[in-house]
Amino acid sequence: MSKKETLDQETRNARSSGGSGIELSAREFEMFRSYIYEKSGINLHDGKRELVRTRLGSRLRALDLATYRDYFEYVRDDRSEQELVNMLDAISTNLTSFFREINHFTFLEQKVIPELLRRREKGEREIRAWSAGCSSGEEPYSIAFLLATRMPDGAANDIKILATDLSTRALGKAAKGVYSEEQVKTVPPDMRKQWLTTVVDEYGDKRSQVAPAIRKIVKFNRFNLMTPRFPFRRTFSFIFCRNVMIYFDKPTQETLVNKYYDVLAKGGYLFIGHSESLTGVKHGFRYVQPTIYQKPA
């Protein structure tokens, strides 16, 4: 073997053991895959073995465990489920941004807000929305910014946005409502001016914090979308569940979409991510336009 071939082989070996020297066997991967599916609905295909190995590798190191099997047993036997929370935190992808997929916000502004205002005139004051899979908060805050800015004075008191996620790490960030200057660049200037204040973090860097008036509107909770029955007593005017179902298989998507149907008000809307579709999913929604569905009135 030439020197170069030897080096290439070494690189491949180092990659396959992730530098930590711990291998994730096919059998161990299968154990995690079915456990993660059972607990979160997240469907990890074969190509995700490396992702599982590296992301869970940090948990092995934190707990000083020698093998992935040891870690699997540790998670499974932890009655407090704290390590399950940590494991799902490590596995989930929390990528998000303010006003991501802008046409949903245009639709809210042009179509949904006028409808809500008409209902308001008839005495239906409360506006309830749900950001399901809210990650670090950019999505529900964007909804709150838009509603609070584009609805008449006083309406903000009647807006309630429930924002839920599985990841405690993401929710911790969301509840603080502090973002970098780069992250808030996609917030329209009028809303940035009205709802974001400048703070200085512990490193002396300038950051933007969501104003208390908006933080009052958005309520963050840890909630697993796999919960068999949603425990909400009152219905929602609209639900955002974007870039979440992409991790679920079709049967899981179908169950979830039908649970959303049940907790939406008549005429309420469901927004899904742009790379998602309900093709092959049985549901009672009316198709409005790609990625937007309405429960018939």
Ligand X SMILES: C[S@@+](CC[C@H](N)C(=O)[O-])C[C@H]1O[C@@H](n2cnc3c(N)ncnc32)[C@H](O)[C@@H]1O
* Residues in 49-78 at the binding interface with ligand X, rule: CB under 6 A: none
Reply yes or no on whether 55 is catalytic: yes
Half-sphere exposure (Cβ direction) of 180: Cα atoms closer than 13 Å: 5
* Position among 86, 237, 243, 253 found at the interface with ligand X (CB under 6 A): 243
Looking at the Cβ atoms of 208 and 243, the one nearer to ligand X is: 243
The answer to whether residue 295 forms part of the interface with ligand X (CB under 6 A) is: no
The answer to whether residue 226 forms part of the interface with ligand X (CB under 6 A) is: yes
The answer to whether residue 100 forms part of the interface with ligand X (CB under 6 A) is: yes
The answer to whether residue 135 forms part of the interface with ligand X (CB under 6 A) is: yes
The answer to whether residue 253 forms part of the interface with ligand X (CB under 6 A) is: no
The answer to whether residue 225 forms part of the interface with ligand X (CB under 6 A) is: yes
Taking the complex as a whole, how short is the minimal distance between the CB of residue 42 and ligand X, in angstroms? 5
The answer to whether residue 92 forms part of the interface with ligand X (CB under 6 A) is: yes
The answer to whether residue 84 forms part of the interface with ligand X (CB under 6 A) is: no
Looking at the Cβ atoms of 100 and 215, the one nearer to ligand X is: 100
Is there a contact between 210 and 177 (Cβ–Cβ < 8 Å)? Answer: yes
The answer to whether residue 242 forms part of the interface with ligand X (CB under 6 A) is: yes
d(CA 261, CA 295): 7
Catalytic position from the list 55, 69, 119, 192: 55
Looking at the Cβ atoms of 1 and 95, the one nearer to ligand X is: 95
Taking the complex as a whole, how short is the minimal distance between the CB of residue 47 and ligand X, in angstroms? 18
Taking the complex as a whole, how short is the minimal distance between the CB of residue 137 and ligand X, in angstroms? 9
* Position among 127, 160, 165, 236 found at the interface with ligand X (CB under 6 A): 165
The Cα-based distances of 110 to 95, 102, 103, 139, 260 in angstroms read: 27, 12, 10, 18, 23
The answer to whether residue 139 forms part of the interface with ligand X (CB under 6 A) is: yes
Catalytic position from the list 59, 165, 207, 242: 165
Residues forming contacts to ligand X in the complex (CB under 6 A) are 40-42, 92-96, 100, 133, 135, 139, 165-167, 170, 224-226, 242-244, 247, 273
Catalytic residues: 55, 165
